[in-house]
Amino acid sequence: MRFGWIEAAALTAASVVSADELAYSPPFYPSPWANGQGDWASAYERAVAIVSQMTLAEKVNLTTGTGWELEKCVGQTGGVPRLGIPGMCGQDSPLGVRDSDYNSAFPAGINIGATWDKNLAYLRGQAMGQEFSDKGADFQLGPVAGPLGRAPDGGRNWEGFSPDPALTGVLFAETIKGIQDAGVVATAKHFIGYEQEHFREAPEAQGYGYNITESGSANIDDKTMHELYLWPFADAVRAGVGAIMCSYNQINNSYACQNSYALNKLLKGELGFQGFVMSDWEAHHSGASAAMAGLDMSMPGDVVFDSGTSYWGTNLTIGVLNGTVPQWRVDDMAVRIMAAYYKVGRDRLWTPPNFSSWTRDEYGFKYYYSSEGPYEVVNHFVDVRRNHSDLIRRIGADSTVLLKNDGCALPLTGTERKVALIGEDAGSNPYGADGCSDRGCDNGTLAMGWGSGTTEYPYLVTPEQAIQAEVIQNGGTVFAVTDNWAISQMETLAAEATVSLVFVNADSGEGYIDVDGNMGDRNNLTLWGNGDNVIKAAASNCNNTIVIIHSVGPVLVNEWYDHPNVTAILWAGLPGQESGNSLADVLYGRVNPGAKSPFTWGKTRESYQDYLITEPNNGDGAPQEDFTEGVFIDYRGFDKRNETPIYEFGYGLSYTTFNYSQLQVQALNASAYTPASGETEAAPTLGEAGNASDYLYPSGLQRITAFIYPWLNSTDLEASSGDSSYGQSSDFLPEGATDGSAQPILPAGGGPGGNPALYDDLIQVSVTIKNTGDIAGDEIPQLYVSLGGPDEPRIVLRKFDRITLQPSEEYEWTTTLTRRDLSNWDVAAQDWIVTSYPKKVYVGSSSRKLPLRASLPTVQ
């Protein structure tokens, strides 16, 4: 038996796949069941114990959201009140609590990328986690490592950290640890290949007038998948992440939330992920197929927002009762969800959501969308910010990259008599900091991009406010021209100024909002709002013009960066609520900038490859995004194409200088690599499924319009399914999908984040770093390796650190390379391998300033 609409979805997908020239995603079944490996053991045992007491409907309730805007959070599942298990609240975003109030607006992921600071990544994660916890959110829908940043113009890159997988992986993992140490489940997203906004969802694309019927397909080869896009997710799993969100796009023409290769093989098989896979909002496209392909939670639960129908809910209950979905699979879903909940200690901190995502009114209906249920307090206005503004201010300053500083233009001394603030990006949004829904406009200073990856600001300290206060205190004079078309007024002001601080920006965001014709992805890499002309107006009139860029990623600076009057350039990214204060700390030297660019700044648009697919290229079928560049994104691509950037990956200046010397390389004693082997246990079955008659809607239940329930209308399963083509065949599921017998352990698997031997230390490297200037400062030593072989990047980042050195202080920085750091993915062996090609190590201050290098000893 099967669900008819599910079959329909499967057939649509099949007709696309069958065109043999299209990329194909191989099947992998059955879906690995959790076993509590690594530090999941006690959480797993508790989960098994509680799930064993649940009825089928109770388990299903945990797996399925109750529908869009029905309850308070952006996603909320049903609970199991009988056992004291609440419905679980998932809330955006990766930079703070979305759709609420009295919360902090943290710097974006890309700013953490620019800090290269593990400690700050952890502290930000922990601070965010505390705020989510206090608001009553059980899962934070973040952090982000997908998009990774394949395309410099990809709309959501700023939500994540960097296009480099090693930098992202470390910061992703630290963020996750911080969030989860605060007692909230982190959701690593979006898995995987979600590298552009265009065509991520067919209905959204249709809204923009594109005639497509399926989401775009990220076509990624196995080596690139492992070495680039999967890499940070391995770090996330190793860090114990509780949830992973599958993405909107297809991967090799199979939807990410029903892609058995991605979910069953890569995530649960190789990486040994023990938590649960949650769908992105409406990224769930089938019932039994998605269940067997590894999806564990449907969000927000309905087929389309507020349809009142669900692929799961009642239909998942039916799927088990009619034998389509084996009970062990639903048991495993529930165990994974409960294990994540226990692992972070959510049961000890749980509090009901005390805010509504849908209104700021104090009172409202309990069920917002349908305006039903009791009329009650829905917003308690709980201030959860603590003193997080201090951390936010510090991260803002520590993520500001000094790109140019001629003649020590910076820091300012505070004795400047006339300070000009030039450009709209210095000032406030005339609509108010929160005046555009989900930050969907580019008015005033830019401190986050747009979309679901945002928060409301509690306030936004603009550069104009912070700098003006400082200048007044210093006894100077200060004037701001913030209309980007008032060029002559800017010229006049700049001509009289001691220093001109020019503010420019470039914005992007999520595909459901179009800002000035940018449908999420950027249409170009240029500055927004006449920015280049604003800079030129100042630079042609003031010989001390300092440019400050707030942007979501690289912008083109070629028209003015080497203008002799442009004495300094700072990139401040998206610093969050303390923007102006953080910047003033750097401008006036209270903080010596130590950040490094987390991406490459090319000379022209053409310096980057053009990766975005912005016109359908497969009729009305899934647009095909062929990742033919392989692992060669960002600096790896620039290196390969011999393209010289203006500012390379890892570049950033300081108010002091550093020297590198004494590279030492030493092989460590590690045992040889052993591919994992053996078999899993058989899938456990927990409790009895019972009969249809056990799962009828409880009598007396007042059903809420559009709410998704797990129960049945009648013992006639076909009638209860609501599916006109409910059928009698089970053969649509792929071979082996329902097999719960013991399964082979994959060679690259066997532990959290993959084969434990991948994390063995093989080589120790140390260098001496000296502060050669006369003020204290931070340096970020960077270690790159070349793995050798004809098709490898010239170098890849593997290790980094952020260290503070006093004037003349010397420090011996020691780090180790793991087996994973030296391995390539062997497509034939389906395992990692240290190739026999000679390998080298490079250490220095950026991807192109690597004064120290050595051959690496042969290891295996």
> What secondary structure does DSSP assign to 436-501, as a single string?
SGGG-S--SS--S-BSSS----S----HHHHHHHHHHHTT-EEEEE--TT-HHHHHHHHHH-SEEE
Pick between residue 74 and residue 787 the one whose CB is nearest to ligand BGC.
74
Sheet holding 185-191, edge to edge: 75-76, 89-91, 139-140, 185-191, 243-246, 276-279
Closest distance between ligand BGC and the C-beta of residue 522, in Å?
17
In whole angstroms, what is the distance from residue 602 CA to residue 251 CA? 29
Pick between residue 278 and residue 689 the one whose CB is nearest to ligand BGC.
278
CB count within 10 Å of CB 836 equals 10
Closest distance between ligand BGC and the C-beta of residue 801, in Å?
31
Pick between residue 280 and residue 718 the one whose CB is nearest to ligand BGC.
280
Pick between residue 29 and residue 281 the one whose CB is nearest to ligand BGC.
281
**280 in active site:** yes
SS3 of residue 604 by DSSP:
coil
Closest by CA to 665, choosing from 761, 814, 760, 765, is 765
Closest by CA to 449, choosing from 103, 78, 105, is 105
281 near ligand BGC (CB under 6 A): yes
Position 572, amino acid: A
Closest distance between ligand BGC and the C-beta of residue 347, in Å?
24
Pick between residue 147 and residue 650 the one whose CB is nearest to ligand BGC.
147
Closest distance between ligand BGC and the C-beta of residue 337, in Å?
17
SS3 of residue 801 by DSSP:
coil
From residue 519, how far is each of 153, 196, 787 by CA, in Å? 11, 10, 39
Pick between residue 95 and residue 584 the one whose CB is nearest to ligand BGC.
95
Closest distance between ligand BGC and the C-beta of residue 16, in Å?
22
SS3 of residue 515 by DSSP:
strand
Closest distance between ligand BGC and the C-beta of residue 607, in Å?
29
> Contact, 241 vs 172, CB < 8 A?
no
Pick between residue 74 and residue 318 the one whose CB is nearest to ligand BGC.
74
In whole angstroms, what is the distance from residue 667 CA to residue 571 CA? 39
Which helix (H) or strand (E) segment is 404 a member of? strand 401-405
SS3 of residue 833 by DSSP:
strand
Closest distance between ligand BGC and the C-beta of residue 779, in Å?
35
141 near ligand BGC (CB under 6 A): yes
From residue 424, how far is each of 88, 481, 530, 549 by CA, in Å? 42, 7, 10, 12
Pick between residue 513 and residue 663 the one whose CB is nearest to ligand BGC.
513
Closest by CA to 712, choosing from 129, 30, 187, 55, is 55
From residue 281, how far is each of 132, 157, 201, 212, 362 by CA, in Å? 20, 19, 10, 19, 27
Give Cβ neighbours of residue 99 (< 8 Å, ≥ 6 apart).
74, 91, 92, 355, 357, 358, 456
In whole angstroms, what is the distance from residue 239 CA to residue 177 CA? 6
With CB under 6 A as the rule, give the number of residues binding ligand BGC: 8
Pick between residue 189 and residue 226 the one whose CB is nearest to ligand BGC.
189
DSSP code, position 821: G
Closest distance between ligand BGC and the C-beta of residue 450, in Å?
11
Which helix (H) or strand (E) segment is 817 a member of? strand 810-818
Pick between residue 197 and residue 718 the one whose CB is nearest to ligand BGC.
197
In whole angstroms, what is the distance from residue 301 CA to residue 316 CA? 12
Pick between residue 58 and residue 280 the one whose CB is nearest to ligand BGC.
280
From residue 734, how far is each of 30, 333, 680 by CA, in Å? 9, 19, 21
138 near ligand BGC (CB under 6 A): no
Binding mask of the shown chain, residues 505 to 544, with x at each position contacting ligand BGC by CB under 6 A: -------x--------------------------------
Closest distance between ligand BGC and the C-beta of residue 341, in Å?
19
280 near ligand BGC (CB under 6 A): yes
Terminal CA-CA length for the chain: 51
Half-sphere exposure for 660 (CA within 13 Å, toward CB) = 21
Q: Which position among 7, 58, 69, 92 is part of the footprint of ligand BGC (CB under 6 A)? A: 92
Closest distance between ligand BGC and the C-beta of residue 434, in Å?
14
Pick between residue 215 and residue 824 the one whose CB is nearest to ligand BGC.
215
In whole angstroms, what is the distance from residue 848 CA to residue 587 CA? 26
199 near ligand BGC (CB under 6 A): no
Instruction: Give the pair of three-digit tokens for residue 274.
Output: 């023990």
Closest distance between ligand BGC and the C-beta of residue 812, in Å?
42
> Contact, 635 vs 440, CB < 8 A?
no
Closest distance between ligand BGC and the C-beta of residue 815, in Å?
33
Residues 590-609 that bind ligand BGC (CB under 6 A): none
Binding mask of the shown chain, residues 443 to 462, with x at each position contacting ligand BGC by CB under 6 A: ---------x----------
817 near ligand BGC (CB under 6 A): no
Catalytic residue among 280, 302, 639, 723: 280
> Contact, 146 vs 168, CB < 8 A?
no
Pick between residue 246 and residue 271 the one whose CB is nearest to ligand BGC.
246
In whole angstroms, what is the distance from residue 263 CA to residue 271 CA? 10
Give Cβ neighbours of residue 297 (< 8 Å, ≥ 6 apart).
62, 63, 64, 65, 77, 243, 276, 277, 278, 279, 333, 337
648 near ligand BGC (CB under 6 A): no
Closest by CA to 113, choosing from 189, 154, 187, 174, is 174
Give Cβ neighbours of residue 495 (< 8 Å, ≥ 6 apart).
541, 542
Instruction: Give the pair of three-digit tokens for residue 516.
Output: 């000035």
651 near ligand BGC (CB under 6 A): no
Interstrand relation of 250-251 and 217-219 (parallel, antiparallel or unpaired):
parallel
74 near ligand BGC (CB under 6 A): yes
Closest distance between ligand BGC and the C-beta of residue 277, in Å?
14
In whole angstroms, what is the distance from residue 657 CA to residue 27 CA? 54
Catalytic site positions: 280
In the complex, the residues that contact ligand BGC under the rule CB under 6 A are 74, 92, 141, 189, 280-281, 452, 512
